Amino acid sequence: MLRLSRSGSYYRPAAEPAEELELLHLIDEIHLDKPFLGSRGLRDELLNHGWRVNRKRVQRLMDKLSINAVAPKPNLSKPAPGHDVYPYLLRNVAVTRPNQVWALDITYIPMRKGFMYLTAVMDWYSRKVLSWRLGNTLEAEHSVAALEEALLRYGTPEIVNTDQGSQFTSMEFTEVLKQAGVRISMDGKGRWLDNVFIERLWRSLKYEEVYLKAYENVAEAKAGISDWIQYYNSERRHQSLNRLTPDMVYNENLPVLNQQAA
């Protein structure tokens, strides 16, 4: 009567094989060190680490990790069919104050028996992480939740910049920005530098926290990431911020080095 198949009703998702998780972790580490490598370069680098993997598999795992080589190419980011893509608004713009520009991005977080995806909202001027969400899918709901929390806690920025991923071009995400009166900016194809500040955040987070631990479960991952972000915002002094912390710069609107976009 419900037109449900027996196989669909009783299906339980299989856990990721240990070999697949190890390979995902290694590709993620190599990408952080050598972000200019595409699928061919990663395949060759994996061979240097003792992994004989064909290019097709590397491409599939890169899609799962949501990573791309930084070199300019025709299809760096792929919005879903029917989604609107917005122009890049930050070219030659001097970012001079908090809440002028926010950036959002997503990264892969390995655990002992699986992986999650982390979405973060960062204030471009101060580098402060305003909000974040940990989820087990790349659906837009996690990006929307992180954005809504940041808007609720910190007010409305002038511009929000993202890549052209389907999460950020989705109607659920863009409608939140439109209703708040925020201008939408999206990285151009091949312009990996447009979100370089948040890419640096991912590198620091992974080498200082994630890769030093093998999270047993989601609760442990959330606790570890939460502690590190608290340290990053309130204790860690940044050379690019005149040796101030992101909280100091954001809360007190202290002057820092020129943050002009590329």
Q: Which residue has the higher pLDDT, 11 or 200?
A: 200
Q: Which residue has the higher pLDDT, 44 or 81?
A: 44
| pLDDT in the model for residue 190 | 47
Please spell the DSSP secondary structure of 177-200, one letter per residue: HHHHTPEEEEPPTT-GGGGHHHHH
**Res 74 pLDDT > 90:** no
Characterise 3 by phi-psi region: left (phi > 0), alpha (psi -120 to 50), beta (else): left
**Res 36 pLDDT > 90:** no
> CA distances (Å), 205 to each of 55, 62, 109, 225, in order?
28, 20, 10, 8
Distance CA 13, CA 15 (A): 7
**Res 166 pLDDT > 90:** no
Q: What is the mean pLDDT of residues 75-83?
A: 50
Distance CA 187, CA 112 (A): 33
- The SS3 assignment for 136 reads coil
**Res 5 pLDDT > 70:** no
| pLDDT in the model for residue 7 | 57
**Res 72 pLDDT > 60:** no
**Each residue's pLDDT tens digit, 184-231:** 999 865 455 556 788 889 999 999 999 998 899 999 999 999 999 999
**Res 32 pLDDT > 90:** no
**Res 168 pLDDT > 60:** yes
What amino acid is encoded at 216 in this protein? E
* CATH 3.40.640.10 for the 101-252 domain, yes or no: no
**Each residue's pLDDT tens digit, 117-162:** 999 999 999 999 999 999 998 889 999 999 999 999 999 999 999 9
Q: What mean pLDDT is reported for the chain?
A: 85
Query: For the chain, which residues make up each domain, given as ranges?
Result: 17-65, 101-252
Tell me which DSSP letter residue 17 carries: P
Task: Note the Cα 73 to chain centre separation in Å.
Answer: 20
| pLDDT in the model for residue 146 | 97
**Nearest alpha carbon to residue 24 among 74, 66, 82:** 66
134 and 221 Cβ atoms separated by less than 8 Å:
yes
Q: Which of 8-12, 41-45, 103-107 has the lowest mean pLDDT?
A: 8-12
For residue 218, the tally of other CB atoms under 10 A from its CB is: 15
**CB under 8 Å to 111, separation ≥6 — which residues?**
214, 215, 216, 217, 218, 221
Distance CA 175, CA 98 (A): 23
| pLDDT in the model for residue 189 | 54
| pLDDT in the model for residue 164 | 85
Distance CA 203, CA 228 (A): 13
Confidence band for 84, pLDDT divided at 50, 70 and 90: confident
Q: Averaging pLDDT over each range in 38-42, 59-63, 225-229, which range is the top one?
A: 225-229
Q: What is the mean pLDDT of residues 10-30?
A: 79
